[in-house]
Amino acid sequence: MEKRILYGGDYNPEQWLDAPDILEKDIQYMKEAGINTVTLGIFSWSALEPQEGEYQLQWMEEQINRLYENGISVIMSTPSGARPKWMADKYPEVLRVNPDRQRILFGGRHNHCYTSPVYREKVRKINTLLAEKFASHPAVILWHISNEYGGECHCPLCQKAFQDWLAERYGDIEKLNKSWWTAFWSHTYRSFEEIESPSPRGESELHGLTLDWKRFVTERTADFLEEEIKALRAGGAKQPTTINLMYDFPFLDYDRLSKSVDIVSWDSYPVWHKREDIETALDNGMQHDYMRCLKKKPFLLMESCPSATNWHKISKLKRPGVLAAAGIQAVAHGSESVLYFQIRQSRGSSEKFHGAVIDHSGRDDTRVFKEASALGQGLAGLGEIVGSQVKSEVAMVYDTQNRWAMEGAMGPRNEDLHYHEAAMKTYKALRKKGLNVDVISETSSLEEYRLVVAPMLYMFHDGFEEKIRGFVEKGGCFVLTYWSGIVDEEDRCFLGGTPYGVMDVFGMRRTETDSLYTGEVNELCPAAGSFLSKTYECRNLCDLITVEEGKALMSYGKEFYQGTPAVVENKYGEGLAYYVGADAEQGFYDDFYAHLMKQLNITSLVAGIVPEGVEVSARSGDGADYVFVQNFRNAATDIRCMKLEGQILYGRNMEELLPYESLVVKAGK
Ligand code: GAL
Ligand code: ZN
Which positions are annotated as active-site residues?
148, 303
Picking from 211, 318, 240, the residue whose alpha carbon sits closest to that of residue 274 is 318
Tell me what the pLDDT averaged over the chain comes to: 97
Q: Which ligand is nearest to the CA of 157?
A: 2
Helix extents (H) in 253-332: 254-257, 277-295, 322-332
CA 245 to centroid of ligand 2, rounded, Å: 22
**592 within 8 A of 547, measured Cβ to Cβ:** no
CA 124 to centroid of ligand 2, rounded, Å: 17
For residue 42, the ligand 1 atom closest to its alpha carbon is: 9
For 176, the enclosing helix (H) or strand (E) is: helix 173-180
The residue whose C-alpha atom lies closest to atom 6 belonging to ligand 1 is 341
> DSSP label at 317?
P
Cα distance between residue 482 and residue 514, in whole Å: 10
Instruction: Give the CA-trace dihedral at 449, 471, 442, 478, to 10 degrees.
Output: -80
Burial 167-185 (b: 16+ CB within 10 A, else e): beebeebeebbebbbbeee
Cα distance between residue 306 and residue 315, in whole Å: 12
For residue 368, the Cα-to-chain-centroid distance in whole angstroms is 27
Cα distance between residue 26 and residue 66, in whole Å: 11
Any ligand 1 atom below 6 A from CB of 269: yes
For residue 309, the ligand 1 atom closest to its alpha carbon is: 12
- With the most atoms of ligand 1 within 8 angstroms of its CB, the residue from 145, 247, 307, 341 to mutate is 341
pLDDT of 668: 78
Any ligand 1 atom below 6 A from CB of 93: no
The residue whose C-alpha atom lies closest to atom 10 belonging to ligand 1 is 351
CA 502 to centroid of ligand 2, rounded, Å: 42
- Which residues in the chain come in under a pLDDT of 50? none
Structural domains in the chain, sorted by start: 6-80+129-151+237-384 (3.20.20.80), 394-600 (3.40.50.880), 614-668 (2.60.40)
Cβ neighbors of 178 (< 8 A, separation 6 or more) are none
Cα distance between residue 633 and residue 614, in whole Å: 7
Helix extents (H) in 313-391: 322-332, 367-380
Cα distance between residue 203 and residue 207, in whole Å: 10
CA 87 to centroid of ligand 2, rounded, Å: 15
- With the most atoms of ligand 1 within 8 angstroms of its CB, the residue from 265, 303, 354 to mutate is 303
Could you tell me which residues are beta bridge partners of residue 662? 630
pTM for this model (two decimals)? 0.98
For residue 147, the ligand 1 atom closest to its alpha carbon is: 8
pLDDT of 1: 64
Any ligand 1 atom below 6 A from CB of 146: no
Backbone phi and psi for residue 645, each to the nearest 5 degrees, phi listed first: -145, 145
pLDDT of 615: 98
Any ligand 1 atom below 6 A from CB of 345: no
CA 268 to centroid of ligand 1, rounded, Å: 10
In the chain, the N- to C-terminal Cα span, in Å, equals 25
CA 178 to centroid of ligand 2, rounded, Å: 28
Any ligand 1 atom below 6 A from CB of 304: no
